[in-house]
Amino acid sequence: MHENIDRVLMVILAVMAAGVVLWRLNRWLTSPQTAVFTTVPIQKQIEDHPALELLVQEGYEVIGGKVKINLSFQIGAQEVYSRLFVDYVASDEEGHLYLVKLSRERMAMDWSGASVRDRLMPVLLMYPDCAGLLYVDDQQGMVRKVTMEWTDEMWSKNHY
């Protein structure tokens, strides 16, 4: 009698295990593809710019040129297109990769949290393996390193 119960339990466990495996396989196959890139594209062609000297002075080595990231958005039945640009890719002495954005005279950077979020976060989110972003202002002769971290910190009512 115990042998029959053991067999029934084994069959039930096997059916349950197969169900879980099939459910996970179906979920994996039907899940959307991630929009995060796993590696930073390195363009071999590096255009000369005064910012390159600033980066070298700060201890960075420029290892890649301009990267163009094509984007498409579906808005109802309409599809619209845009691009994000990274001016250079650099590495530090430890080999960490940084995306480099150059300042633009017509698009002055406001260093508030909202401005940094709106202007720089999209690129940082697309390449999470990067150590951060270097913002180079060659007019002021300054390189700013921008890194981003997720926080669960509660904000006081004075911070929005």
Between CA 55 and CA 92 the distance in angstroms is 10
Provide the pLDDT for residue 119: 84
Average pLDDT over residues 25-49: 73
Dmax of the chain from CA atoms?
A: 87
Tens digit of each residue's pLDDT (9 = 90 or more) over 52-71:
899 999 999 999 999 888 88
Global pTM value: 0.67
Q: What percent of the chain has pLDDT over 90?
A: 29
Tens digit of each residue's pLDDT (9 = 90 or more) over 92-113:
999 899 999 998 888 878 888 8
DSSP letters of 87-152? Answer: -EEEE-TT--EEEEEE-BTTBPPP-SHHHHHHHHHHHHHH-TTS-EEEEEETTTTEEEEE------
Q: Would you give the distance in Å from CA 48 to the centre of its chain?
A: 26
